[in-house]
Amino acid sequence: MEDKFSFNSTDFTVSQLVDKIERGELGLPSLQRQFVWKNTQVRDLFDSMLRGYPVGYLMLWECPEFDKKKTIAKKKAHETPNDVIIDGQQRLTALYAVMKGEKFLDAEYKEREIIISFRPVDRTFEVGTISIKNNPDWIYNISDLFTKTGTYSYVTAFIDRLKKKSREADNTTLEDSERDKISKHIEELYRLKDYKFYVFQIASDADEEDVSQVFVRINSRGKTLTQNNFILTLLSVHWDEGRRKIEDFCKDSTVHASATSFNSLGIEISLQDVIRTVMAYAFNRAKLIFGYKLLRGTDFEKKGVINEELREKNFDILKAKLPDVMNITNWHEFLKAIMNAGYFYDNMILSKNAIYFTYAMYLIAKYRFKAPNNINKALASLWFFHAALTSLYSNSTETVAESHLTAIKDYSSLDEYKRFIITRVNESLTDDYFNITLPGSGQGGLAVSGSGNNAWFAYVAALNILRRKVLFSTSNLTVRDFIISFNDGKKKTLEKHHLFPKAYLKELNYPDTMINQMANYAFIDWNDNEDISDKAPSVYYPLICRKMHLTPDEINTMEQDNALPHNWQNMSYEDFLESRRKLMAKIIKQGFDSLKSKI
């Protein structure tokens, strides 16, 4: 099949590429990432170039229809770059930073300088350190050399310094042969400006799908370009201020501070999370391919013709809606809805898509249907609990989410929206689901082993909703209290323990897959591990109950709180697992019913 776009290949020297970046002819569309290379990778790049090793191709895309593009360089003569970098951003950023002595933003949005050192006598590169800086055998920062117009005076000054500070101090002589070698090696380093890169140039008649296909086919490192990448590109091009605001919102979620997107759940926001949310909220689109086309100005009624007025109109919508997504009050009120659903730390949430698609629904309910805050949070809590439990957004994510957005798109009242939420939730969480599916071994059931699945974390969430006490608790603290009190926003501090001890089951020759069943775990508030150790439940359980002076009624309540069958300690392990799964599913249903009763 004939290609529908044109391309060519050519060579550019490092000097030509760096100058193009400085003049603004070569732009950065942010298709990949901020600069994430380590300094050692930059060192190895220069070492490979000096040795004449291949260091990969570059891919550029001519996009003259863009009004402006983000550039690597801080100062540029060209308002509109001729080409943007599709593959090679990390290498070109490294080369530009070192050749021009420029600082740049790293992956944590911090300004950083790369210092690469060079020892001319043996052509060794290293990352600059204080000891190297004080050693006259080294050029501490090779940027000092590359910013010179020639090497003669630089070589002379280096050799004079070497003689005075090293050789004369050691009573040694710098031989002519060594002087010539040093001079030659510095000249070779300087001539890296003439190192040639193979460049693959794609013409402006290619669209994003063409570019993605070419990128994947010729990229041997298994990377791909996503629709999210292209949307971020359009933001860089047409609304760079908006992209910077998104970056700040995401960055703030990683740094402990008040009145920012940082939160006690430990949820760190990515650029893609914001893009997904705003596309769903502003445009009723979960499929980012459509989001990109909308922002590009695609007229779907005219077979994909690009319409500049339509692009401007859609960007105006984006500019109006994005502040709602990044409104700190909105974000934290929504997070309260997640916590109200029993989810108190990010590790409980296995699908982050559930967070952001539910957040979009929350914003739609608030601004489109004028939902009062208490009702909106109750609806969001119920929807999130249902989404997390059923892995709603784990498979065919965009298709599922888009079906929901399409269903509510034409609603005009809060009552219609409420009926949608309740109907969809009830369709999924039927009595058969709680009585058969959830206790079973199918996908998402409780009859599995491991560190935790969505069913397990829904059980924990239900314990939090119902304010159930921890097993063997010597105080009135609930599971919820333990998690809230000791959660550091990064990980849980309340650990789960085996009810049938691991060592005990090992002696009975049970495999790990049986030992680590979800139904064999519970949160325990008992510090004396010797009382449990490798003992059978029939031994340690009555012992601890006696030590705690528990009455039969208190034991019964404690067992109900923790989904323990009565007389569980005397059951066979298999019977115990089967019975407890049903009780765990019952607690999950009680948590679900509690959330539903608030609507």
Domain count across the chain: 4
Residues pairing with 7 in the sheet: 202
In a domain, 472, yes or no: yes
Q: Report the amino acid identity of residue 417.
A: Y
* Residues 77 and 120 both lie in one domain: no
Q: Which residues lie closer than 8 Å to 592 by C-beta, 6 or more apart?
A: 382, 385, 386, 389, 429, 462
**Residue 293 pLDDT:** 86
Tell me the sheet residues that pair with 199: 10, 58
pLDDT tens string, the chain, 599 residues long: the values are: 455 667 888 999 999 999 998 888 887 544 334 678 899 999 999 999 999 998 998 988 886 454 444 455 555 555 557 887 888 888 998 999 999 998 877 766 677 889 999 999 999 999 999 999 999 999 999 999 999 888 899 999 999 998 887 766 677 778 889 999 999 999 999 999 999 999 988 887 777 667 766 776 666 555 566 777 778 767 876 787 898 899 899 999 998 888 999 998 999 999 899 999 999 999 999 998 888 888 888 888 887 777 889 989 999 999 999 999 999 999 999 999 999 999 999 999 999 999 999 999 999 999 999 999 999 999 999 999 999 999 999 989 999 999 999 999 999 999 999 999 999 999 999 999 999 999 998 778 999 998 889 999 999 999 999 999 999 987 888 999 888 876 544 444 567 899 999 999 999 999 999 999 999 999 988 775 566 778 999 999 999 999 999 999 999 999 999 999 999 999 999 999 999 999 999 999 999 999 999 99
Q: Residue 316 falls within a domain, yes or no? A: yes
User: 251 and 347 share a domain?
Assistant: yes
DSSP bridge partners of 11: 198
Give the residue from 170, 141, 125, 177 showing the smallest Cα distance to 158.
Answer: 141
CA angle at 98 for the pair 96 and 99, rounded to the nearest 5°: 65
pTM: 0.77
Task: Judge whether 576 lies within some domain.
Answer: yes
Domain annotation covers residue 153: yes
Do 18 and 43 fall within a single domain? yes
- The verdict on 407 and 308 lying in the same domain is yes
Whether 157 and 214 share a structural domain? no
Report the alpha-carbon distance of residue 339 to residue 350 in Å, rounded: 15
Tell me which residue range forms the domain holding 174.
116-192
- Hey, what's the torsion of the CAs at 217, 219, 224, 229, to 10 degrees? -110
Do the domain assignments include residue 448?
no
Q: Pull the structure tokens for residue 456.
A: 């397990």
Do residues 174 and 245 share a domain? no
Are 256 and 311 part of one and the same domain? yes
424 shares a domain with 311: yes
Verify that 174 and 250 share a domain, yes or no: no
Half-sphere exposure of 376 (CA within 13 A, CB side): 22
Domain assignment present for residue 545? The answer is yes
In a domain, 268, yes or no: yes
Residues β-bridged to residue 196: 13
The pLDDT assigned to 292 comes to: 82
Q: CA–CA separation, 495 vs 597, rounded Å? A: 30
CA angle 515, 517, 520 (to 5 degrees): 80
For residues 557 and 422, membership in a common domain is answered with no
The upper half-sphere exposure of residue 46, i.e. CA atoms within 13 Å in the direction of its Cβ, equals: 32
CA distance 116 to 403: 53
Cβ-contact 95, 18 below 8 angstroms: yes
Residue 579 within a domain: yes
Tell me what pLDDT residue 530 has. Answer: 61
DSSP, res 452: -
Residues 207 and 260 in one domain: no
Q: 422 and 345 share a domain?
A: yes
Separation between Cα atoms, residue 353 and residue 391, nearest integer Å: 10
